[in-house]
Structure 1
Amino acid sequence: MVGYRPLCETGGRVGEKNDEQRRRIRRGIVATLVGGTFWGLNGTVSKWLMDAYAIDPLWLVCLRELTACWLFLAAAAMTARGREQLVGVWRSPRALLSILGVSFAAILFSQVAYLEAIDWTNSATATIMQSLGMVLVLAYVCLRMRRTPRRRELLGVALALLGTYLVATGGNPGQLSLPPEGLAWGLGCAVAAACLSILPAAPMARWGNFTVNGLAFLFSGLALSLVYRPWEHMPALDGLAVGVLALCVVVGTFGAYALYLQGVKDAGSMRASLLGTIEPVTATIASVVWLATPFSPAEIVGFVLIIVMVYLTA
């Protein structure tokens, strides 16, 4: 009996730990799905704003970055650890340089490429093309680890190439289904997505997600504003547009990103990558239902192949 009691207590503790882990994973799954859905809807809403109010994509990038940055920084300041990171990062010139690199090569590039791709095509196509960044991340991982791609990864790359061909041509090799500018910005989205997956990893591990993203959004927004001068390109907005823009910033940018990060933390990066495919699915459904965007059967097949690629390479 003396040896039996600790065994029961240990089993109980293990059971409680497993239950807690399952709850955390379920919470992460929900957070990732909601965050991905917000991202997908945000792309469609941005397309509607740009078309309905003649909003320039660069103006929208400036607005999103210079407003969402304060939400990220406020979230960082809510915890003692976050406040410590906010203060400490300014004392490290090396850290600020790394965040500047993230700001320009990842945040600014991804924001501009994504909204330009949406402007030239539609939110579904831009989001699907963005998913091709997984292929570039795979190439980076293989080079970094000095290994060759596995069979399923090679199959994923082949499906990605075939899917891109179908999306770009609509199944007709004699013509482009997308405008050349849309195809170029869509491929730019893929490069930007790969940069966004790789470059922030080291500074985030040291200074935290919200601190790095808040400063990166702030730096890139200020730099773009100095060049683009958004106050000289103000669109004519009514109350509805202002409200929708606020939702884009709070829900579609900060909310989506915060939820996705929570999902990565709770459910793991692999589950989050797979569940993140809800973003292009949501963008496609929203484009068809809300904006009545037409897609050919070949384009739909291309979308599916690229999503399958994500599952094979994640």
Structure 2
Amino acid sequence: MNSRGVILAYPRTKGMLLVIIAATFWGVSGTVAQYLFHQQGFSTSWLVVTRLIFSGVGLLLFSQTVGNQNIWTIWKNKQDVVKLIVFGIFGMFGVQFTYFAAIEHGNAATATVLQYLAPVIIAGYLTIRGKKLPTKHEGLAILFALLGTFLLVTQGNIHSLSITFPALFWGILSAFSLAFYTLYPRDLLSSWGSLITVGWGMTVGGISFSFIHPPWVFQGRWSLPSFLAVIFVVIFGTLIAFFCYMESMKYIKASEASLLACVEPLSAAFISVAWLHVSFGVAEWIGSFLIIATIFILSAVKK
């Protein structure tokens, strides 16, 4: 490859590395959250509220100082204010709480893979809204998703669940929440950009739930490892991960970024097995890869 080819290839490589870093941080942060829930006695509500408020304020400060954006203008538009509140409570808080609840009642590996059913849910919703039959790609993706979920939660045994019912319930609800989180803020994103939309969404979601579970009402055991784990979830698993993902869009296509983000459930599974000794058999691995494969299948659809 000549020097010009190297120059052209480097930005693309940089973009791919940024996505992989972001997805890895997301996956590892789920496993770290599992450590906080199962071994340090932390509650889902406290961790979600703390993560949302600190991460949301951090993104807004970054947008205001580094991005030179006016973060307050969005509150002057009444329609966008309503959309932002709905997105913050039902989208941002919803997807965070259901995901962490699935981890608390199960494990990070299963919770993350179940959440990746969201693209199939989105495809199904758009098919129903468009009043049309699923395409071959969509039908195959749905089949893979159903089979993958079956193997993941039953280990191939139809007479028993390999995970608890609450873990399955919150995991499936997390996928629906992620689908809503993905589809709903389209107008907000086009008008205000991702940093302001997500920053305020996190802040609104965190503050709203603070009236139900204040962040100063704490449950768990503080130690140096648990303190570092919380820092990792907030800083690396949210702020840095989100920044890397959005920065990657400058160098690669959004469709490519979404495919590379499949590293997230894989990293969550590997770290859970290696660090927390989560039992993950052949059936679970096959089910996980079938669910992840749906993203590659759906990416082949042109529209």
TM-score by length of 1: 0.89
Structure 2 CA distance for partners of 1:184 and 1:265, relative to 1, 3 Å: farther
Cα pair 1:82 1:208 within 8 Å, conserved: no
Q: 2:80 matched to 1:99?
A: no
Query: Which residue in the other structure is 1:36 paired with?
Result: 23
Structure 2 CA distance for partners of 1:300 and 1:144, relative to 1, 3 Å: same
CA distance in 2, matches of 1:18, 1:140: 42
Cα pair 2:41 2:219 within 8 Å, conserved: no
Cα pair 2:46 2:217 within 8 Å, conserved: no
Task: Kindly report which structure 2 residues correspond to 1:1-314, keeping only aligned pairs within 5 A, or say none.
Answer: 22-79=9-66, 81-83=68-70, 86-143=71-128, 147-314=132-299
Query: Which residue in the other structure is 1:4 paired with?
Result: none
| SS state at 1:227 partner | coil
Cα pair 2:59 2:196 within 8 Å, conserved: yes
Structure 2 CA distance for partners of 1:282 and 1:149, relative to 1, 3 Å: same
Report the residue type matching 1:55 in the other structure.
F
Cα pair 2:56 2:198 within 8 Å, conserved: yes
Computed over aligned residues only, the root mean square deviation of the Cα atoms, in angstroms, reads: 2.0
CA distance in 1, matches of 2:170, 2:298: 23
CA distance in 2, matches of 1:210, 1:22: 27
In the alignment, structure 1 segments of 5+ residues that lack a partner are: 1-14
Cα pair 1:167 1:299 within 8 Å, conserved: yes
CA distance in 1, matches of 2:187, 2:78: 15
Structure 2 CA distance for partners of 1:298 and 1:255, relative to 1, 3 Å: same
Report the residue type matching 1:45 in the other structure.
V
| SS state at 2:199 partner | helix
Report the residue type matching 1:43 in the other structure.
G
Cα pair 1:169 1:178 within 8 Å, conserved: yes
Tell me the CA shift for residue 73 of structure 1: 0.4
By percentage of residues, which structure has more helix? Answer: 1
Cα pair 2:115 2:172 within 8 Å, conserved: yes
Structure 2 CA distance for partners of 1:151 and 1:102, relative to 1, 3 Å: same
| SS state at 1:54 partner | coil
Tell me the CA shift for residue 168 of structure 1: 1.4
CA distance in 2, matches of 1:171, 1:265: 42
Cα pair 1:72 1:214 within 8 Å, conserved: yes
Report the residue type matching 1:27 in the other structure.
K
Greater C-alpha Rg: 1
In the alignment, structure 2 segments of 5+ residues that lack a partner are: none
Report the residue type matching 2:175 in the other structure.
A
**Corresponding residue pairs, total:** 298
Percent of matched pairs sharing the same residue: 27
- More deviation, 192-201/164-173: 192-201
